[in-house]
Amino acid sequence: MSQATATLPASAPERINLLDLDRAGLERFFADIGEKPFRAKQVMQWIHQRGVTDFAQMTDLSKTLRARLAECATVDLPEVSVDQRSKDGTRKWLLHMDGVENAVECVLIPEDKRMTLCISSQVGCSLNCSFCSTAKQGFNRNLSTAEIIGQLYLAHHALLADEREGGITNVVMMGMGEPLLNYDAVMRALNIMCDDFAYGLSKRRVTISTAGVVPAIRRLHEDTDVSLAVSLHAPDDELRSQLVPLNRKYPIAELLDACRQYVSEHNRRRITFEYVMLKGVNDSLDHARRLVKLLRGIPSKLNLIPFNPYPHALYECSDQATIDRFRDFVVGKGIVTVTRKTRGDDIDAACGQLVGKVKDRSRRSQKHQISIQKLTGQTPHATR
């Protein structure tokens, strides 16, 4: 899919995908084709709330408008390639975005009182964090708004079809990719998620996770107040730069300054800091002490994430006793801290395990395969 624009030139041969447009974009679209802007609300309800993608079935629109929409617009969804269910109830979809070359994964995490969907924002990821399986697949491109919101559409209506009243209740932008490097498309998708004529999600139930793209965090502060999660993973620049190479561009001091700004006007809002537990790397009590000092004065919650292994990973997960000691120390210093429960690891749906299918423009996946072959004593295949 190509990234759609909000206007439709009269001579444009391509039909516009209405999933690419938030309410403001739809209002401009209808104005451009000579219709009243309130049609945007009607069409949003048909598509997002009722799950109707055939304009002919949108019966409160005139027949003339329905025919016009059939000529100039479409509702194109990602194609479901694989639908897997874990023994713990987690569900993962592999979604093709442009034929067979590129696919992303999104994950449904069911709990007693909520249904959380983990959504991807890019095909692959450009950041190359050293502990993440997704990073080893390389990077191809950003997803369009339609491809992002299409993940929510499919999961939400799958739940309704299974008679799970209410559908998706929470969204976390923690799937494949760095959301803040696809800023405009992600923002339009967030607008749709929170729109009362679409999914009506509270901004407190929508979370963007970032590895620390500081300029975009500052911009986000001006544009929205959805929940923010920051992948921290280390209490000092030297270690964090090894784990999260983006830190070389935006070191911890700059990142935390942007975090303070983000919560400055929202007194009850906390930043969630994510911290993957890597055996012998970042899990000592000294690391915990320095982390507490680092986060002092920032309204925060700490998520400790047991490392989820994948083939040829460079790290191991900290043992449970070490994780518990780390957690108890930080909690004792007044920081709300939880250890994230691993979900869906039997279908590779846990944090850091999403891989999808990436036609890698960065050639990182090829380099990774060569390094694996060398480590295992295999002869590397010839490369182009």
Q: How many CB atoms lie within 10 A of CB 227?
A: 23
Instruction: Decide the pairing of beta strands 79-85 and 16-17.
Output: unpaired
Catalytic: which of 125, 132, 317, 351? 351
Q: Which two tokens stand for residue 251?
A: 């070191």
254 is annotated as an active-site residue? no
Nearest to 255 by CA among 227, 269, 234, 226: 234
* Catalytic pick among 105, 147, 178, 274: 105
Q: Which two tokens stand for residue 228?
A: 């923010």
Cβ contacts of 326 within 8 Å, gap of 6 or more: 277, 283, 285, 287, 288, 304, 318
Whole-angstrom CA distances from 357 to 23, 82, 134, 210, 345 are 31, 12, 10, 22, 18
Cβ contacts of 194 within 8 Å, gap of 6 or more: 200, 201, 202, 203, 206, 226
CB-based contacts of 239, cutoff 8 Å, min separation 6 = 281, 282
Indicate if 351 belongs to the active site.
yes
Instruction: Give catalytic residue positions.
Output: 105, 351
